[in-house]
Amino acid sequence: MDQVNHNKNVIEVCKNSLDYIKLRQDYLSKDNLLREYKAISEEFKEWLKKGYQTESIIYLIEFKK
């Protein structure tokens, strides 16, 4: 394999690796957000069950923005 083809292959492998890392980070970020939203939902349910005042729940609504 000549040097030019080798360099092209190396660049292609690096690009593919970086693309994979970016996709993985995006997936993990979305997965983490989903877990956070579920946790907020559970906290909200607990607050409603315990009868906390509506003013206390505003913080949850603002956090989700």
pLDDT in tens, 12-44: 998 999 999 999 998 888 888 888 888 888 887
Residue 65: per-residue pLDDT: 45
Q: Tokens standing for 64?
A: 């989700």
37 vs 56 pLDDT, higher one? 37
| pLDDT class of 46 with cuts at 50, 70, 90 | confident
Residue 20: per-residue pLDDT: 92
Residue 2 has pLDDT above 60, yes or no: yes
Residue 1: per-residue pLDDT: 61
Could you tell me if 63 and 41 are in contact, meaning their C-beta atoms sit under 8 angstroms apart? no
Q: How far apart are CA 2 and CA 10, in angstroms?
A: 12
Please list, in sequence order, all residues whose beta carbon lies within 8 angstroms of the beta carbon of residue 40, skipping any fewer than 6 positions away. 60, 63, 64
